[in-house]
Amino acid sequence: MSKKNFIQVFEYQKLKYDENSDFKKNHFDAMVLFNEKNQNKYFTIVHKGVLFNSYVGVIQIGSLTIEILPKADKSDNPDKGTWQNALLNMLKVCKHIQVDNVSETNLNKKYNSILEVYFEMYLNEIESLVKKGLIKKYRRVQSNQNALKGKLVFSQNIQKNVVHKERFYCEHQVYDKDHLIHQILFRGLLVLEDLLNNHLKDKLNRLLFEFQDYQQLNINKSHFNKLNTDRKTRPYLKSIDIAKMLILNYSPNLNSGNDNMLTLLFDMNKLWEEYIYRILQKHKPEGYQISFQNKEDFWETKTIRPDIVITSNTGEIFVIDTKWKIVEANKPADDDLKQMFTYNLHWKAEKSMLLYPKVNQEDSKFGEYHYNDLKKKCKLGFVSVLNGSKVREGRILSQDIFDKLVVKN
């Protein structure tokens, strides 16, 4: 992927095809069609362009890659490499990058886009499987035979062998490598063949040669639902996870032209929520339990669901509601206060906190609700995603959040 065909933008930024030579009308048309097929949730169509919203990630259209980065920064010229690393770290912590051997060193490697991380991981995983030896599995096939093998398929035998009475249309088992798992991996490689044009192309071609004799299926979600995991197939799980992402997010010739499209988009609000939960879960102090997206009945069929509930061994309960946006206020908004009060009551929590990314804001103090002298409290909290130009350590971030909850004010 060359810099010429690579555009980086930030959430809530516009991209217009009459202002950027790499983003052309055909790319815009493909994005409009894709957005319409997905209830227009990923971005807003504006005059000669798109306005991105809370979804971050990557859109690849033909040879053009558009990377949408998160931003909790007031700078007019934020460092794109820094925020790309922040996004990569969040995806890894939230296990959207489903490979355990992605080390901090690998994540710090300079990638043009986060898609390249997935592409390289996929090729490395398959290369490892090929070196170990691809497994054989039993599968059922139907075909015409010169001798009866397995069971006779009467309807097909009558239809196909009216003239050739010496043949038998049978269903039988074969034990080979041309089974569904390898057909899925093969399809993932073929997707990359339409998208790759960089240093990984040679490795891709070598792997395609290994799979050239396997059946090409039009893989969809139902094929993944048929897979069963056992001792033999467990080493394939990582590559299958990435293949699923590649295949199900791929749209060939979306606008009836030559532009194949691959999208990998994440709602930043949900990603931030899960990121904070996983950081707290991993680095919680002794004596605390963390639960995620608890749900309780609220009214008739309606439920309420706070993002994170923290319970201590001494019986203290805290509720956190995460919000990925920059706010200037030092007090909670009225609607937020009412929502958090409901959480306080339903979960019997003494304290609740609205947690935002920090730019230069300061936490508010805990304010007390005036209701039946229950002494329920709520505050605004802000945490930094970055430490200078580097991603902040999870251990330090977790301690910062706990300090905000247990502080005696």
The CATH number covering residue 339 comes to 3.40.1350
User: Same domain, yes or no, for 129 and 144?
Assistant: no
Residues contacting residue 88 through CB under 8 Å, at least 6 positions apart: 97, 107, 111, 114, 117
Indicate if 91 and 167 belong to the same structural domain.
no
The answer on 223 and 100 residing in a single domain is yes
Residue 100's pLDDT is: 46
Number of domains in the chain: 3
Residue 44, beta-bridge partner list: 51
Domain boundary among 125, 152, 176: 176
Between 198 and 349, where is the model more confident? 349
| 164 in the same domain as 126 | no
Sorting pLDDT into bands at 50, 70 and 90, what band is 111?
Answer: low
Quote the CA–CA distance of 214 and 16 in Å, as a whole number. 43
Residues 224 and 84 in one domain: yes
The secondary structure of 294-307 as a DSSP string is --EEEETTEEE--S
Q: Is residue 244 part of a domain?
A: yes
User: What does the pLDDT read at residue 104?
Assistant: 45
Return the percentage of the chain with pLDDT > 70, whole number. 92
Identify whether the C-beta of residue 184 lies closer than 8 Å to the C-beta of residue 125.
Answer: no
Identify whether 275 is part of a domain: no
Q: 115 and 220: one domain?
A: yes
The verdict on 62 and 128 lying in the same domain is yes
Reply yes or no on whether the pLDDT at 94 is more than 60: yes
Contacts from 273-277 at CB under 8 Å and sequence distance 24+?
273/307, 273/308, 273/322, 273/324, 274/94, 275/90, 275/93, 275/94, 276/307, 276/308, 276/320, 276/322, 276/355, 276/401, 277/307, 277/308
Based on the fold, state whether residues 155 and 92 are members of the same structural domain: no
DSSP state of 393: P
Is 344 within the bounds of a domain?
A: yes
Tell me whether residue 279 is in a domain: no
| Collapsed DSSP state (helix, strand, coil) of residue 134 | coil
Q: What mean pLDDT, rounded, does the chain reach?
A: 88
Domain boundaries, position 168 = 137-176
Q: What is residue 258's predicted lDDT score, i.e. its pLDDT?
A: 60
Can you give the pLDDT at residue 253? 63
35 and 156 in a single domain? The answer is no
Quote the tokens at residue 96: 């959207």
Greater confidence, 211 or 112? Answer: 211
The two structure tokens encoding residue 367: 């304010």
At 101 the pLDDT is 43
Q: What is the mean pLDDT of residues 124-152?
A: 84
| 234 shares its domain with 105 | yes
**Residues 16 and 125 reside in one and the same domain:** yes
Asked which of 267, 296, 320 is the last residue of a domain, the reply is 267
State which of 125, 157, 176 marks the end of a domain. 176
Contact criterion met (CB below 8 Å) for 49 and 14: yes
Instruction: Indicate if 241 and 359 belong to the same structural domain.
Output: no
Burial (Cβ within 10 Å: 0-12, 13-18, ≥19) of residue 115: buried
Q: Is 117 helix (H, G, I), strand (E, B) or coil?
A: helix
